[in-house]
Structure 1
Amino acid sequence: MSIKIYGDPGSGSLRRVTSAAAIMNVPIERVNIDLFKGESHTPDFLKLNPHGLSPVMVDGDVVLYEASAINLYLADKAGGQLLGATPRERYEVLQWMFWSGEQWRVFATLTFDERIGKRFMGQPEDESITALTFAKIRAAAAVLDAHLAERQFVVGDKLTLADIDIAAPFSQNERTKVPFDEYPNLVAWQQRLLATVPAWAETKREVDERIDTALQGAGIRL
């Protein structure tokens, strides 16, 4: 029985899972969920994730939501790939994954909701919220930029789940205009991932096509 991954192709969180699965050669079956059509809030989907969010993984009787948890599960399936080369690195990977959820991605997601999501609902951006998210993103980016000053990857000398988790906000930064370009080490690290990790470049194209097509269809110009 194949591992099913439910999600919208425009989702940066789904991108984290599909990229990790491709990198680790873990076979998955994609099940598209159209967020713009409300398919994540149907009764059947809400049984999988009561929050009505994607991605969701179904592997037999194991059902998981939250992309980080799914990626940890897939990494165990793949024999620990992307979890770090040593026990110490594994804890550092987990540290940065938790950091990403607490200090980083949440504010990028909120920015997307304000600057892009509200446009689809015909609502104006609340600039006070955007000012808050930018301040939080800048504070975290300064820490990350310093960390990456002499590093190729977030942990150790190879790609890990920490890189994938932290790179997720770059899925939408061209549309949300978050201030990543103020941090040269951060930008260089992201460009390095796009140049050296084919799955990350391929999933970027998928996200861009999905979101840009949705924007065009809704008559929204950014």
Structure 2
Amino acid sequence: MSIKIYGDPGSGSRRRVVSAAAIMGVEIELVTVDLFKGESHTPEFLKLNPHGLTPVMVDGDVVLYEASAINIYLAEKAGSDLLGSSPAERYQILQWMFWSGEQWRTFATLTFDERITKRFMGQPEDRSIVQLAADKIRAAAAVLDAHLAEHRFIVGDHLTLADIDIAAPFSQNARTKVPFSEFPNLVAWQQRLLETVPVWAETKREVDDRIDTALAGAGIEL
């Protein structure tokens, strides 16, 4: 029985799971859940994730949501060093993954909701929320930029789940205009991932095509 991943191709979180699975050589079956059509809020899907969010993984009797949890599960199943090559490295990776959820991705997602999602609903963005998110992102990015001044990857000398988690907001930064460009080490690290991790570049193209098509179909110009 294959591992099923439910999600929308335009989702940065689905991108994290698809990329990690490909890097680890884990075979998955992708099941499209069209977020623009509200398919994540059907009674059937809400049985998998009552929050109505994607991605969701189904592996036999195991059902998981939250991309970070899914990637940890897949890495443990595959015995992959994306989760670290030593216990000490593993804890550093987990630290940065938790940091990403608390200090980083949440504010990038909030910006996307204000600047992009609201346009699909015909609502104006709340500039005070966008500014708050930008301030939080700048504070976190300053820490990350200083770290990346001395490291090619977030943890150790190789790609890990920490890189994938923290790189995820770059999926939408051209549209949301979050202030990543102010931090040169952060930009260089992201470009390095695109150049050295083929699936990261491939999934970026997939996200771009999905979101750009949806924007064009709704007659939205950014």
Give how far 1:123 is off: 0.0
TM-score when scaled to structure 2?
0.99
Q: Which amino acid aligns with 1:103?
A: Q
State the match for 2:91 in structure 1.
91
TM-score when scaled to structure 1?
0.99
Q: Distance in 2 between matches of 1:5 and 1:166?
A: 20
Q: Distance in 2 between matches of 1:211 and 1:96?
A: 28
Q: Distance in 2 between matches of 1:73 and 1:11?
A: 20
Matched residue SS, 1:158 = coil
State the match for 1:32 in structure 2.
32
State the match for 1:42 in structure 2.
42
Give how far 1:150 is off: 1.5
State the match for 1:64 in structure 2.
64
Alignment deviations for residues 48-82 of structure 1 (CA, whole Å, 9 cap, x no partner): 00000000000000000000000000001111330
Segments of structure 2 that go 5 or more residues without pairing to the other structure are none
Give how far 1:177 is off: 0.4
Matched residue SS, 1:48 = coil
Q: Distance in 1 between matches of 2:9 and 2:78?
A: 23
Percent of matched pairs sharing the same residue: 83
Q: Distance in 2 between matches of 1:86 and 1:152?
A: 18
State the match for 1:179 in structure 2.
179
- Please list every run of at least 4 consecutive aligned residues from structure 1 whose deviation after the TM superposition is greater than 2 angstroms: none
Do residues 125 (structure 1) and 125 (structure 2) align?
yes
RMSD: 0.4
Q: Distance in 2 between matches of 1:161 and 1:192?
A: 16
Alignment deviations for residues 73-92 of structure 1 (CA, whole Å, 9 cap, x no partner): 00011113301121111000
State the match for 1:5 in structure 2.
5
Q: Which amino acid aligns with 1:24?
A: M
Is 2:24–2:80's contact at 8 Å kept on the other side of the alignment?
no
Matched positions, count: 222
Matched residue SS, 1:92 = helix
Segments of structure 1 that go 5 or more residues without pairing to the other structure are none
State the match for 1:137 in structure 2.
137
